[in-house]
Structure 1
């Protein structure tokens, strides 16, 4: 079933381009996420919509000032001289920004109307302006740049509406009748004057057909009711309830309703190092994340979202099995193969970090861990009342056969490194996990005794290989792979996967040894120190900190785990959104944002703290 492709050893050479001035831009941590379950937007703390792809997460951008302040396009509040402070309306995905200057105060609420349905006729983004103390004059700058700013928007204005075509689609900006609209230097200015207590709405509409579906309504109340009702159905625990709610809403915002897929992040090319080359497109669905996503959603009581994501994973695996095609590392939100990387050389990149990429070439890599991840996902859902269907049985058996055939092969590893293939410890552990979980399902899979005996032998053989070649007995820790002495932050996750017995002293020793090598300034953890074949560096990996916290709680050191989580929470911005990485020296957010895996890690660490709070050694 698996054909191991040729790995890429280096980044392709990039054509030279004219140097561009680097705009200061908005720090990643100063953005808020809004969305409608089909796509999402980033709104800055000063009310600029600097990232929006329509109609879906992986569609070309309409606004991309996030990646190029000059060319990307934006929909901003022009409030020079005003102080601005943004926050989320409680238990919602509505962003509320308060602008103050002397006695003048006005508020802008930004949100998208949730669309929990497969087929939609229109997408709406609303900007509601409220004068708290007026009169106030509010100006918006509307600068759409379709198709990653590769096309000009031929905007026309008539009938209280700015309109233009975006490819085959239609975009309209509905403005109040009292608005003053004019074009200045290629941008559109919309100016409103409001008395104290007055409110007005501006609505951005996207449709596939020429007819508008907007009837002048205000979408705030149905949006607020949707989110607060959804939050009320969750289960939030411990001392972290407020942040757990924000993490849950964030995951919900990143789930594509038509298929149940959850993207790793709604953005592309936010750098792992400012000015560096490590800029990737994360608007896709990683197979290996399946069990972690399912775990987090179930922990919070969102079984429907978990089921929808599991069905997406099942459909992908079923297609691979029935069509006899390779199982890929990740997929589009529709379950298709991810397109090859393309560089958008006309974009300067976030703070000059280029190239900006769309698509992702890592889809060509071979990663052994995905087979165990899929089996683990089936096993986990079986413990939550989801039966093993006849087709699922066939898929699991085939995945075990794939593990038997390929577990001794080298692969590119969880971090998709480009130095060539290795026998990565984590990949072997996930092969062991796959066989171990399949054995737990043996009765439901109707496996005969001969096959069970063969699977047990395979499980023991993989474990013995790991202990022989991947465990450093002198330092009492796991190494990243047998050809190195370096460790990997994924060691914490290996503890949580129960490769060690919970009371095995080697589990604690591995946690301690890994921390000595990879922890920095107490709460930050790097993924590894090994050369990965890419130029430049990266920040501390946020998920690794959460793995550490969960592993400490799991092995009985709840007090230390609690201390670390409390200290780390102080790094989070007011929005509660979490990035992929943090620069430990500056606290700057790095990588695509917000990162689903980081929010999943937070949920896992909080859950482990709550579950094992009575255990202390």
Structure 2
């Protein structure tokens, strides 16, 4: 291997504990084991020589198409050559359900002939611990065993083809006719019980698992009806793959160090659970009907609330609740298309981000709309968080964007402190919980008056990124009406929406996060989550035609199998950043919800944030 495929040229498969990227050329070029935040076994997307890969593809030139088996996370790649056509089916066995053996961690690949006679080659080249460990590989009687001398890592590959090994790389060749099919089953833990089921039965069971889980509805009555229904369903399936079944936590993305600026240093590890995403994730999952996942997700955060002092709550955690996410640079890897450094861990875990408290309380509040989840003990912890916010809301922090240029008085952080108090008051009163609500109201009012005085630029007519940052516009201003800080028909909200459209938005409706300096060299692309925020703000404003046109344009940037990265290059349309990105898919689902609700005149019983607050919101008309 010596070329890097485009980031968007991938599908995703997973087993609810880890994930793998499979490119359209038949290569597994990213897969950590045993968990999504574990060291990689295949990482050629970060270094084509040292990273390791697992490829099954024609030996001759080909064209490829990739798609999912309908309403599943089973991926199929069809290769067309001059000699004929073959199909590769990829999936991992979900760890939830009785599909494989007890505790089996397996990656299944099936290649079958469809037309003509096509020569193929399979290359199995694991490289453990991000390519840092020495790999020993042997092959015998249809089984390849790869192990790392420095660790206990071991992967076995079973196949009916005979493999030859050279330089710790196993290869096999065959010619496929329509009568031929070969299976490759890679297992991470060879000591686990191996399924007695034939691979075709495991495939059938996996398809059935996804069909049982996926969003189902009467399409004519579904809130997501119309052209965006299938995109919302696919986004729900992607979010499920990012969910860790053992804990209920959800990672922001399954990859590390895919660049926001190709060739630059904006490369981060996103395989962790951010509180920042919580409320919007709950809204997305619940409205797709996945309330079990939404409740487990919030309960995971409630466990963090019980852990101790609110001052020690982190912006992000490991998927098992780990707090020590020390950032490390892997100098031996070249990085995607020379984008260095490659990072593991994330230093933002040590940052102070005051918006985190509002996002946590908001997530609990949103979940309480459909489930009774807050116990007296939970409330004691939540009350402690609101009390802490009363004491620290007027201090500086790193903000939602985790800037590394020093703490500031970020406007969005203040707004979310207001949200923590606002939702805390509502929960206390609705549930008759003990709380100093009079004090909380006083502090809530002080936060609002301070933000309106110091965070809104009267001259330019928009909310600033931070107090004193003249002319620095931030897309988080789009969330002011969504979280209920101001009604959407407030002149300051309307002005901010217009300013973001004029200054941060490309002709295709792609929105940049901000226009200020963040302390890092290089430039990033447009942020998809912010782009979906604009859809929501327009829908809330009654500018439904604009919102619909923008959402249609954004829907056009999904890749060939319906997945989204973190960012889009406005000029080339290339995907940038870690892939697929959870909050991009959360944004797509929620924007479809806002639009559907706005278009039916607010009559739907499914009401997203901002449309249930009654703060002078006018849906307007559809013109």
TM-score range, shorter chain: over 0.9
Distance 1:256 1:367, change over 3 A: same
Match of 1:92 among 65, 69, 72: 72
Please name the residue that 2:474 is paired with. Answer: 488
Deviation at 1:183, TM superposition (A): 2.0
Q: 1:387-439: per-residue Cα shift (whole Å, max 9, x none)?
A: 42011111111011111110010001111111111100000000000100011
In 2, Cα distance between equivalents of 1:415 and 1:279: 14
Please name the residue that 1:499 is paired with. Answer: 485
Please name the residue that 1:9 is paired with. Answer: none
Instruction: Determine helix, strand or coil for the equivalent of 2:136.
Output: coil
1:198 aligns with 2:180: yes
1:299 aligns with 2:278: no
In 2, Cα distance between equivalents of 1:605 and 1:431: 24
Instruction: Determine helix, strand or coil for the equivalent of 1:110.
Output: strand
Please name the residue that 2:458 is paired with. Answer: 473
Distance 1:538 1:394, change over 3 A: same
Please name the residue that 2:7 is paired with. Answer: 28
1:227 aligns with 2:210: yes
Match of 1:616 among 580, 605, 620: 620
The unaligned stretches of length 5 or more in structure 1 are 1-21
8 Å contact kept, 1:46–1:86: no
Q: 1:488-514: per-residue Cα shift (whole Å, max 9, x none)?
A: 011112221111113323322210012
Distance 1:86 1:474, change over 3 A: same
Match of 1:129 among 101, 105, 111: 111
In 2, Cα distance between equivalents of 1:86 and 1:353: 27
Taking structure 1 as the reference length, the TM-score comes to 0.92
Deviation at 1:246, TM superposition (A): 0.9
8 Å contact kept, 1:296–1:600: yes
1:460 aligns with 2:445: yes
In 1, Cα distance between equivalents of 2:594 and 2:311: 38
Q: 1:47-78: per-residue Cα shift (whole Å, max 9, x none)?
A: 10000001100110000001011111100124
Please name the residue that 1:159 is paired with. Answer: 141
Matches of residues 101-500 of structure 1 in structure 2 within 5 Å? 101-116=81-96, 121-166=103-148, 167-176=151-160, 179-207=161-189, 210=191, 213-215=194-196, 217-218=198-199, 219-233=202-216, 236-321=224-309, 326-447=312-433, 451-484=436-469, 485-500=471-486
Match of 2:565 among 569, 573, 579: 579
Instruction: Determine helix, strand or coil for the equivalent of 1:612.
Output: helix
Q: 1:179-233: per-residue Cα shift (whole Å, max 9, x none)?
A: 13112454211223333233221100111x6466254621211111111221154
Q: CA RMSD in A?
A: 1.9
8 Å contact kept, 1:279–1:357: yes
Deviation at 1:318, TM superposition (A): 1.2
Taking structure 2 as the reference length, the TM-score comes to 0.91
In 2, Cα distance between equivalents of 1:269 and 1:24: 17
8 Å contact kept, 2:144–2:170: no
Matches of residues 66-85 of structure 1 in structure 2 within 5 Å? 66-79=45-58, 80-85=60-65
8 Å contact kept, 2:103–2:192: no
Deviation at 1:136, TM superposition (A): 3.0
